[in-house]
Every structure is written in C-alpha cells, then in structure tokens.
Amino acid sequence: MQNFTLHTPTKIIFGKGQIAQLSNEIPKDARILLTYGGGSIKYNGVLSQVHDALEGYTVEVLGGIEPNPAYETLIKAVEYVRHHEIDYLLAVGGGSVIDGTKFIAAAVNYPHDDLWEILTTCGAYITSAIPFSCVLTLPATGSETNNISVISRRKTGDKLHFVSSVIFPQVAILDPEVTFSLPSRQTANGIVDAFVHTLEQYLTYPANAKVQDRYAEGLLMTLLEEGPKALKEPENYDVRANIMWTATQALSGILGAGVPQDWATHMLAHQLTALHGLDHAQTLAIILPHLLQEKRSVKHAKLLQYAERVWKFTEDSEEEQINHAIHATRQFFESMGVKTRLSDYQLDGSSIPAMIKKLEQQGLVALGEHQDITLDVSKRIYEASI
C-alpha cells in the first residue's frame, strides 16, 4: 500500500427529512446565498423544504447554474456575492451546482484578477473560500464531500478541474427522497459516473491494498444490483439510499487512498463534453471500454480480479475472462440506457484531432497510472470509440 494522507472533513447528514437539519448547522447570523440550477428544485419540493428549514435567516437566491457549469455564468455570481455582503453559500442541486458553488466560494477572495487562472493552475493560488454547505439532489459525482470542482469555459471549449483544501463543503445533506424526481437519464448518468469513479481507483495494478480493493468491489456490486432497480422503481427509498451512499463514497477520497489511480478516462471524456455538450456520464461510457481494451496488458492483474470478483467469470482462460468483463461493463452501461459509442451520439470522429490538440494544450500528454497514455494512445482510444 502506498503512503497517504486522508482528510475528509465534510459532515454528512443522511436520510429522510434531514433538510430540516440545516438550521442546526448554519450560523443564525449568516447571510446566505442559495445557489441552484435550472429549476428542478422548484417543482420537486426541495426548494420549499430548504426555505422552511431556513426560516428567520437572511437568504438570497441565485439560480441558473447549468449542467457542466459555465465559467461565464459563475463569474457573474462572484460579482453578485462581492456586492451583496454574502458570507455563506448553500448549493442545492447536483454536481454542477455544487462544483459551481465551490468555484464561487474560492473566487470571491481570490488574490489575482484573472479568475480562469484558478482552473489553469488547478487551484494553486487559492488562499481561502467562503464557507458553504450543500443539499445533494443527484448522486453521481461525489462533489458533495470532496474538494474537487470541474468548470467549463464555453468560449474556449475548455473543461478543467481544480482542487483545494478549502473547498470541502462544511455539511452535506443527503436525503434519498429528493432523488425520486430524477429523470431516468440522470439516474443512469449518476450510476455510470460512480461506477467509473470506482474503476479508475481500482483498475490499475495491484498495490496489496486489500481494504481498498474489497471496498471498490463492494461499491461496484452495489451499483450493478441497485442500478437497474432504480430505473424500474424510482420511488424505492432503499434503492435510492444505497445508490446515494455508494456514489458519495466512490469519490470521497477514501477509495483512492493508498492506491494508484488512473483518471485518463475522465480527461479524455471531458474533451467530448467540452466540444459536443454530451452528458458527463455519456462521455465516460464511450471512453472507458476502449481505454480498458487498449491498456489491458498493463492492467491485466486487476482486470482479472475485476472479472473474477465482481462479475464471477472464473471458467475461461484469463484473456477470455477479461474480454467478458470489458464486454459486461459496456453492456451494463447500455442496459442503463447510456450508449457507449460516438456514433450513437451522431459523432463520426472528425473532431478527434481537435480533442487531441486540447489534450496537448492542457498538458494531458502522459496519463494513466504509468503515465503511458500519450497523445498517440489517446488518439487510438478515441478512434476505437467511434
């Protein structure tokens, strides 16, 4: 096992009716800006639950944070916060609203004028952030308890992330009932995203990290079991609860502590969203099976472990077991309604040179657990994904 430092300070409040706890967590004299997305929280009752919980507080409201949150929108929000004496943020939404709110929190007192620098330097110069909490409405990204934020800049076609020790949410409210209203597409997206997060911290090479391995296998098997049920029974509380808790843990930091990681699928996938606007999970479902195929020899031992322990493929030759596991992974995504080829999204691969150029500009030229996913390898993965 590798050395690691793990700090996951977000307080998690999980369960039915727990939005009401906000008043026990947020200081009474806070001047709050509640941030949200396109309005789902208005029709599913989440916004009114939050307002009820915050009765007596000073609360201003700012909507319009879009999926794959746009830098262009967020910098306006930063100005708003600077001019309205806001001292606490409350994100109510999915990963996009939470990521956008992390950006606002870190940008308000950023020491330099160019706020895009936060992304190009991966948060290196952030010194402080406004305190904030979140009410999660879409289990997927793990943003609710981690210190990562992914922001897109529409004008330049960039989708970049930053990390900072000051952008952990203080409190994350996880009420599975608020996910009953998710459209199937977003339910499936969340399950695919959590599945891929788990695989990217698991399918590398053995590090004799037995707890992390079995933890990852447990999360994967839970998603395989509960994912299809969530589509069939969207109001099944236990199913939603298991998915919500799995997605949080898939990217809370604990799974990747002490083990090698391979975030190449995410890096290649981000270019597809930036250029073509595909959902985050759709892009992962396109890239992952081809990346596993391309890197199957260096990932051999863990792919075999994945095949045997998660999929129970034990009969055939090792290579056959790995073939079956990669195929079954793709089939799982498809069975959830998330297509796995560029052509399924009416893309013919003509944008591959542009995506390779972006990877190069962003310095993403040696990805993977062995830093051996060069631009040539990325190109082959994109081409295989058509």
The residues of the shown chain that bind ligand NZQ, judged by CB under 6 A, are 37-41, 44, 67-68, 93-97, 99, 137-138, 140-143, 146, 148-150, 178-179, 181-182, 186, 189-190, 193, 251, 266, 280
In the complex, the smallest distance separating the C-beta of residue 42 from ligand NZQ, rounded to whole angstroms, is: 8
Beta carbon nearer to Zn ion, 86 or 216: 216
Cβ neighbour number for residue 7 with a 10 Å cutoff: 8
Beta carbon nearer to Zn ion, 135 or 250: 250
Which is it for strands 148-153 and 158-163: parallel, antiparallel or unpaired?
antiparallel
Alpha helices in the chain (DSSP H): 22-25, 40-43, 46-53, 71-83, 95-107, 117-120, 184-200, 210-232, 237-250, 264-276, 280-294, 300-309, 318-335, 352-361, 375-384
Beta carbon nearer to ligand NZQ, 130 or 307: 130
Tokens of 124: 């290196």
Q: Does 262 bind Zn ion (CB under 5 A)?
A: no
In the complex, the smallest distance separating the C-beta of residue 196 from Zn ion, rounded to whole angstroms, is: 6
Beta carbon nearer to Zn ion, 190 or 260: 190
Beta carbon nearer to ligand NZQ, 32 or 74: 74
- Piece of 78-86, 153-161, 190-198, 327-335 that binds Zn ion (CB under 5 A): 190-198
> For the chain, what percentages of helix, strand and coil (3-state, to nearest 5) are there?
50, 10, 40
Total residues binding Zn ion (CB under 5 A): 1
Among ligand NZQ, Zn ion, none, what binds residue 277 when CB lies within 5 to 8 Å by partner kind? none
In the complex, the smallest distance separating the C-beta of residue 159 from ligand NZQ, rounded to whole angstroms, is: 7
Opening angle at CA 14, ends 236 and 168, nearest 5: 130
Beta carbon nearer to Zn ion, 193 or 369: 193
In the complex, the smallest distance separating the C-beta of residue 154 from ligand NZQ, rounded to whole angstroms, is: 12
37/93 Cα distance (integer angstroms)? 7
Q: With contact defined as beta carbons under 8 Å apart, do 326 and 313 qualify?
A: no
246/218 Cα distance (integer angstroms)? 9
Beta carbon nearer to ligand NZQ, 134 or 304: 134
Among Zn ion, ligand NZQ, none, what binds residue 140 when CB lies within 5 to 8 Å by partner kind? ligand NZQ
In the complex, the smallest distance separating the C-beta of residue 88 from ligand NZQ, rounded to whole angstroms, is: 20
| Cβ burial 107-141 (10 Å sphere, 16+ → b, else e) | bbebeeeebbebbeeebeebeebbbbbbbbbbbbb
Tokens of 73: 């929108």
Beta carbon nearer to Zn ion, 273 or 321: 273
Q: With contact defined as beta carbons under 8 Å apart, do 90 and 27 qualify?
A: no
Among Zn ion, ligand NZQ, none, what binds residue 10 when CB lies within 5 to 8 Å by partner kind? none
Among Zn ion, ligand NZQ, none, what binds residue 77 when CB lies within 5 to 8 Å by partner kind? none
Tokens 């843990």: give the residue.
Answer: 249
Among Zn ion, ligand NZQ, none, what binds residue 294 when CB lies within 5 to 8 Å by partner kind? none
For residue 203, CA distances in Å to 114, 223, 261, 299, 339 come to 38, 16, 8, 6, 22
Among Zn ion, ligand NZQ, none, what binds residue 251 when CB lies within 5 to 8 Å by partner kind? ligand NZQ
Which amino acid is it at 59? V
| Cβ burial 175-188 (10 Å sphere, 16+ → b, else e) | bbbbbbbbeeebbb
- Give backbone dihedrals phi and psi of 173, rounded to 5 degrees, phi first: -95, 125
Q: Does 99 bind Zn ion (CB under 5 A)?
A: no
Q: How many residues does the chain have?
A: 386
72/75 Cα distance (integer angstroms)? 6
In the complex, the smallest distance separating the C-beta of residue 276 from ligand NZQ, rounded to whole angstroms, is: 14
Q: Does 193 bind Zn ion (CB under 5 A)?
A: yes
Beta carbon nearer to Zn ion, 144 or 193: 193
In the complex, the smallest distance separating the C-beta of residue 141 from Zn ion, rounded to whole angstroms, is: 6
In the complex, the smallest distance separating the C-beta of residue 263 from Zn ion, rounded to whole angstroms, is: 9
In the complex, the smallest distance separating the C-beta of residue 263 from ligand NZQ, rounded to whole angstroms, is: 9
Beta carbon nearer to Zn ion, 90 or 191: 191
**In the chain, how long is the greatest CA-to-CA distance?**
66
Q: Could you list the residues that contact Zn ion (CB under 5 A)?
A: 193
